[in-house]
Structures are given as structure tokens and as C-alpha cells.
């Protein structure tokens, strides 16, 4: 299975993903990777209502995703897949367990809030999230970009951090 899209967005599975991103990459499988959501049967069922028609969608924990990616039949499958994560820290935990499974991590909807500062247009990160981005980029050689929709130009988040702190 080729992980051709990996995104952090606190909304996880929503219209931008189910329509724009799934179409752009011709996604056949979506893995929503979130330990808390995996344990919450009701929230998981509600989220699955947003699953796009014709796309195999599932919710799993970070440890389960690691196991899925290690399966020989999954590694040899040519189908295109997406991984959706709620937080930058979840992405860092996933990559620490699985290694580099994608070349690019896309940061989507991460809104402003207490302790978060603007890094670039429409992207706000806390100090811990900034460190996680640097770790993902440095340790795993993964480009971290901010992009809301496929038609938007991708913004290099590490470069923004270098320029804006």
C-alpha cells in the first residue's frame, strides 16, 4: 500500500478530505489514526458517516497502524492510502514507531488557541508542536507542509519556523 497522503487536521475526516484530497490522490483506503477515537465507539461511528463512498475507511490506534504497515500483503499492495491524524504529536509518535512511511506530512486545520502562535498564514502552533515538526523533519527526513486545499500552494513549515520562530 502506498501512503500517498498523510495529514494532521484536528477535524480528521471532513469534507475537504473526503472530496478534494481523496480525489487528488485517488485514495482507496483512509486510516484515521487516533488512540482516543479508536476507544470511543460512538464517536468512531459518527466519524465514519463522513467516509467517502468507494473508499475503505477505518479507525485504528497508532500501535495498530504500525502493525498494519508491517504486514507483507499491505506493503506489496499498490492501492493508494491516506493517514489522518489529529495532532502533530500523534504524527511524531507514529513516525517514531513506523519510520518514514511518507515523504510529506501536510498540516491542515490547526487553529489558534491558548499557547499557540501564528507560524504562517492560517497555521498556529504551540512550542511543543514546533519541536515535534522539527523532529519529524529532521529525524525522518519528511517535508512538513501547510496546505488547506490541494489547489493552495504548499508552505514549507520548517522554513516558516526558521523565519518566524
Q: Output phi, psi for 10, to 5 deg.
A: -65, -15
Q: Tell me the pLDDT band of 39, cut-offs 50, 70 and 90.
A: very high
Mean pLDDT of 112-140: 90
* Averaged pLDDT for residues 77-86: 88
Average pLDDT over the chain reads 89
Q: For helices 62-70 and 88-98, what crossing angle results, to 10°?
A: 40
pLDDT tens for residues 127-138? 999 999 999 999
Ordered DSSP codes for 103-146: SEEEE------TT-EEEETTEEE-HHHHHHHHHHHHHH--EEEE
68 to 45, 72, 75, 163: CA distances (angstroms) = 21, 9, 9, 38
- Cβ contact 94:66 at 8 Å: yes
Q: Which of 10-24, 50-64, 97-111 is predicted least confidently?
A: 10-24
Q: From CA 80, how far away is CA 33, in angstroms rounded?
A: 16
pLDDT of residue 165: 59
pTM of the model: 0.92
Amino acid at each position: 500500500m502506498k501512503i500517498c497522503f498523510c495529514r494532521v487536521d484536528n477535524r480528521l475526516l471532513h469534507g475537504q478530505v473526503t472530496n478534494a484530497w481523496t480525489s487528488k490522490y485517488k485514495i482507496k483506503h483512509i486510516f484515521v489514526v487516533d488512540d482516543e477515537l479508536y476507544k470511543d465507539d460512538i464517536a468512531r461511528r459518527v466519524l465514519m458517516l463522513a467516509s467517502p463512498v468507494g473508499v475503505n475507511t477505518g479507525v485504528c490506534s497508532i500501535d495498530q497502524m504500525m502493525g498494519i504497515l508491517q504486514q507483507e500483503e499491505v506493503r506489496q499492495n499498490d492501492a493508494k492510502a491516506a493517514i489522518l491524524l489529529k495532532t502533530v504529536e500523534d504524527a511524531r509518535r507514529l513516525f517514531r514507531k513506523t519510520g518514514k512511511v511518507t515523504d510529506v506530512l501536510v498540516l491542515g486545520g490547526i487553529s489558534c488557541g491558548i499557547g499557540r502562535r501564528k507560524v504562517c498564514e492560517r497555521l498556529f502552533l504551540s512550542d511543543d508542536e514546533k519541536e515535534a515538526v522539527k523532529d519529524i523533519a529532521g529525524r525522518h527526513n519528511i517535508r512538513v507542509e501547510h496546505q488547506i486545499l490541494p489547489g493552495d500552494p504548499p508552505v514549507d513549515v520548517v522554513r516558516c519556523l526558521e523565519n518566524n520562530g
